[in-house]
Amino acid sequence: MVTRSDESKAVLGRHRNFSGTAEEFAELAAVIFRDLGIPFDKDNRDPRQAINERLVRYYVQEGVLSPPEHLGREAHFKYQHLIEFLVARSLINERWTLAMVKQFIEAHNLAELEAALSMNQAQRLVRQFAATSAMPMSEPGYGASSPPPAVAPRVPASEATASGTTRRREIVRFELMPWCHVDVDVNELLRQGSPTIAQRLGAALAQQLRDEISKRGGRK
Amino acid sequence: MNQNSPDVIVTSLRNGLVAAADNYLNLLIQVQAPDAPEAATRTHRPALNLALVIDRSGSMSGRPLHEAKRCAGFIIDHLTPSDRLALVIYDDQIELLVPSTPVVDKRLFHSALAGVESHGSTNLHAGWLKGAEEVAAHLALAGISRVLLLSDGCANQGVTSTDAIASQCRQLAEAGVSTSTYGLGNSFNEELMVAMARSGRGNSYYGDTAEDLMDPFREEFALLTSLWARDLRLFVRLPFSGGRVRVLNRFPNHPRGGCRMPDLAYGGEAWAVAQIKVPAAVTAVSSGTLAVASFEIEYSDNQGERREVMVPALYLLVLNAKDYHALTENELVARRLGELQAADLQERARDAARQGDWAGVREILTRVRKLAETNRWLANVVAELEHLAAQEDRERFSKETYYQALSMRERLAGKNEAPDSAPASAPAAPYLRRKARIGKEGL
């Protein structure tokens, strides 16, 4: 049996290698809305009228779509942008603000966004709440399964000292997201002890992540 | 009454208003569901899509966990193969014991529960969210999708802010996943648990001891399997300018207008007391009768269809002051108004108790007792509260007054409810009982 979700996958799969200008992107997005029979908004406006180059640029400016690649002066959009656009429209139709949409899209990778397209509103909200509380979730597409523990067992490690001997270190691993772990030296954490250390570490981590994204050509 | 629409009855405390004066009218609005058809009670009810989320933190060790498992067993035993259930347990870790599954093989659920032991602290938010994730994956328009969260402690891991958690419960309820909460003992945060259920469009219950926990589970299960209308909204419209409406039950405002009344079950009545200000300018120019308000009720039926009932305007006589004061008060409206006043007083007694002002508590309870002179149920309630106040147990008194006040404002009434709550007049459905002590089994 072909389900609605299989149909969507097939339609979207045909455009996996898409690359085009904002105008071409808007045209393709309108065709996909029509082919999948998805309403563009609550008023059921014709997607060909509603989706245009201006709307696409506005979403880029608001951070709802990730920055397009630039070939010379021309911005080029890809399959990832298409998925982001479809997810964004479904969230906006559920009365999410652009800021919330931006946060949701930033917190999920392409596979997760593709999975989000076949989710209902409640499932997307659960994902959003989990992302903001750093709670691990079941893997999309695999149904329900026991999540990994929020805090992994303490891992003993060893470290060379100036005298050439080694001393054992107690490391605790925090799983901030299923794809992001942070190892902390427990003795050092206790030695620092200051209440501001958590804020300083948080700021340092945020900066590192921004730099890494920037280095790899993504948005900050 | 037919099976497709509710009866709506509007009654004024007095059948008139005073000419050329500001008037504050108290109107009782009763929305009554039909009685359960015999066949429907046995074979036809909306499918349930539930997640049972159980706290197994260290404080639950022993009898509380044993009773929690017994209550979960009760729910399992009463579900049918058309229902779905997920089992989640949590402390500082979350464990999905059984993913959302049709309840075909009950042994699967019972054996998963059997091995649960207590330890750790309380990541209440993450446990609830895991339950919501399971329920959300199987939403159906016609069914009831709900997380039942049980805890004996305060959220002390993960997200802990009451406002943040309640806001998430509200958003998920709007998306179709409701939340009911069950507090146990004296250490749980009643404000968090009630806020979650109110925002989450479910019900809030508590048990004073582990032995008192089964009663609320029975009550909710009976309610869930007898629901006739959900997401009830009341709109009160005034046909003149300069007036004001205040719903004394303090129902939450609905995001799309009106106020949200409790879900309505077969044989039950959702009710509200609306206080309406009619300015002197309106009564000065009227003679004979005056239209004071019209009403609209919206609700979703068991198939998920949105329906509405328009209630024609209520007309009252415009009288001089002497004739107005000669009017008798409607006994039922006076009684419900008294219960709402008693709810307000209980909240004040709770505040006094939390400050350790037990003399103040006793003074406020004396005022509740006066309101109870013609209301036997209220008299039984105040007797229980006086007993608790005598023990000067702050947490226990605080929880009982908090839940009792909420119940007085939001309870479903039985149709043709008798003025007292004597056993002879007690309604059969557990969700229509008026309990003298909310947290105690059988009272």
- Which CATH number fits the domain that encloses residue B282? 2.60.40
B23 & B153 share domain: no
Q: Write out the residue range of the structural domain in which residue B411 sits.
A: 331-432
Assess if residue A16 is contained within a domain: yes
What are the residues facing A177 on neighbouring strands?
A: A180
CB pair distance less than 8 Å for A126 and B129: yes
Provide the domain limits for residue A47: 4-132
Residues A117 and A161 in one domain: no
Domain boundary among A79, A97, A132: A132
| CA-based nearest distance B93→chain A, Å | 7
**How close is the nearest chain A Cα to the Cα of B216, in Å?**
27
Residues B321 and B335 in one domain: no
Q: Are residues B87 and B174 in the same domain?
A: yes
B86, B126, B175 member nearest A122 (Cβ): B175
In the stretch 144-163 of chain A, residues with CB closer than 8 A to chain B read 144-147, 149-151
Of A120, A147, A151, the CB nearest to B139: A120
3-class secondary-structure state, position A153: coil
Q: Are B47 and B140 in contact (CB under 8 A)?
A: yes
Which of B6, B27, B23, B9 lies closest to B248, judged by CA?
A: B27
Query: Do residues B243 and B136 share a domain?
Result: no
Q: Which of A66, A98, A132 is the last residue of a domain?
A: A132
Total domains present in chain A: 2
Interatomic CA distance for residues B402 and A111, integer angstroms: 46
Establish if A149 belongs to a structural domain: no
Per-residue pLDDT of chain B (443 residues), as tens digits, is 556 789 999 999 999 999 999 999 999 999 999 987 765 554 567 889 999 999 988 878 888 888 888 889 999 999 998 899 999 998 888 989 899 989 988 998 998 888 888 777 778 899 999 999 999 998 876 788 999 999 887 777 788 889 999 999 999 998 899 999 998 887 788 899 999 999 999 999 988 877 788 888 888 998 988 899 988 999 999 999 999 999 999 998 887 788 999 999 999 999 999 999 999 999 887 778 999 999 999 998 888 888 999 998 999 999 999 999 999 999 999 999 999 999 999 999 999 999 999 999 999 999 999 999 888 889 999 999 999 999 998 988 999 999 999 999 999 998 877 666 554 445 578 888 888 888 777 66
Contacts of A94 in chain B (CB under 8 A): 175
Cα B371 to chain centroid, rounded: 22
ipTM of the complex: 0.82
- B61 and B174 assigned to the same domain: yes
Residue A184 lies in a domain: yes
Residue B283 identity (one-letter amino acid) = T
B126: nearest CB among A125, A135, A145: A135
Report the residue of B98, B133, B169, B177 to disrupt the A interface, i.e. the one with the largest count of A CBs within 10 Å.
Answer: B133
Q: Tokens in use for B64? A: 């509380």
The answer to whether B173 and B201 have CB atoms below 8 angstroms apart is yes
How many Cα atoms sit within 13 Å of A40 on the Cβ side? 19
Question: In this structure, are B253 and B307 located in the same domain?
Answer: yes
Residues B156 and B254 in one domain: no
Residues B80 and B215 in one domain: yes
- Report pTM: 0.74
Contacts 24+ apart (CB under 8 A), A173-180: A175/A136, A175/A148, A175/A149, A175/A150, A175/A151, A176/A134, A177/A131, A177/A134, A177/A136, A178/A136, A178/A137, A178/A139, A178/A148, A179/A109
Number of domains in chain B: 3
Taking the Cβ of residue A63 and every Cβ of chain B, the question of whether any pair is shorter than 8 Å is answered with no
